[in-house]
Amino acid sequence: MAKSFRGGVHPDDRKRLTAAKAIEVAPLPEKVVIPTRQHIGAPCTPVVKVGDLVKKGQVIAEAQAFVSSPVHASLSGKVVEIADYPHPVFGFCPSVVIESDGADEWVEGLPLSRDWRALEADALKDIVRQAGIVGMGGATFPTHVKLAPPPEKPIDAFILNGAECEPYLTADHRVMLEATEKVVTGMRIVMKLLGVAKGFIGIEENKPDAIAAMVAATKGTGITVVPLKTKYPQGAEKTLIKVILDREVPSGGLPMDVGAVVQNVGTMVAVADAVVSGLPLVERVATVTGGAIAEPKNLLLRVGTTFAQAVELCGGFAAPPAKLIMGGPMMGMAQCRLDVPVIKGTSGILALSAADVNAGEERSCIRCGRCVDACPMGLVPSMLSILGQRGNFQMAKEEYDLLDCVECGSCVYVCPAKRNIVHYVKYLKAQNAAAAAKK
């Protein structure tokens, strides 16, 4: 029987637009705009200058802090500009612009061939760090940091998040079908690195072909594939840990507090490529979809390709987009322009038509309690939204567990008053962070 959790919602997932479509390798772009910041943590410092000739996989911006991740050229060519460019998360960001030379040559020595079984844990961690790998589900937390818990937080279980519970997105689904061995290899590398024997892959039951592929590929490895009920937000870290391990991450805590580490499917492919072949993270699979897209697809895109180029590869717009989002409709980030680049965390480019969007004016809370029933964290979202309007972050934090909200948007989905509850929560968290910084 598929495992589940309290609360959550079951929106029409619209995955039928791309679920059966194989990943297409996008043509080599003529130019890429690569931001020096594609992760949570400190921005990187450019180490190339205008006029330099670079190869694919060459470091073009170095990390200066532990919570950071280096950035590499995604094609070979000439650096023609280093300047502020639009960014899908940070507004504007210093970026390295590279014009392709058409050769698409790797930096000298790559790709290589390496036996990961012969490498020690510290060597594996260093390879992951140097390859610039971050969480590719959208969070973009540097992976080497997540794989280095302090000694007082021993890890005994690793979970691979194959749920992909966001509507519309099918990139992880296709990766599990088309890069099955790499996903399993990446997972085994991470399990060795963490020193854990227990590994789990959580996959929603609406992907039976992926479940079958993973069960076949993990035979004899000690990895267990766990079918999950199709329900949003099944893929949230805390939800996965509770459902699969029956462990509850404490309020304000992290997965490491209950001995667990969770990673994304695409991240495991990046780990396998880095450790086995020496390749840094310079491309990713993204789902380009929505009612406004002429021909939705799953595309393998170079980092630095613009959203406009990706949409063009899908035949352009079939209808004027009413809303443009990076990621899924529940937790993705709204965009106001198409000249932003694909970054390491771009799991999808979603262009919704007017018919897709349930727009309407926000009204006062009617205390119906639907948001309380839907909240997977057991919170009272209606009160958080009211306290958000009042700017009372202290009461929200102390009496209504503000910091436990995972911002999944289930409350917004069911709210008949169309209240922007997640926006209020983000506002309250920002207020709380600002107050903490002053202390």
Enumerate the known binding-site residues for [4Fe-4S] cluster: 365, 368, 371, 375, 405, 408, 411, 415
Q: According to DSSP H, which parts of 313-408 are helical? A: 370-374, 381-390, 393-400
What's the CA dihedral at 352, 371, 169, 86 to 10 degrees?
60
> Which pair of tokens denotes residue 135?
């969480």
Q: Which residues contact 390 (CB under 8 A, 6 or more apart)?
A: none
Q: How far apart are CA 372 and CA 414, in angstroms?
A: 10
Q: Classify strands 45-46 and 59-62 as parallel, antiparallel or unpaired.
A: antiparallel
133: amino acid identity, one letter: I
Please provide the size of the chain in residues: 439
CA distance 131 to 57: 9
Q: How far from 404 is each of 60, 91, 232, 236, 284, CA to CA, in Å?
A: 37, 27, 17, 12, 30
d(CA 139, CA 346): 10
Annotated binding site: 365, 368, 371, 375, 405, 408, 411, 415
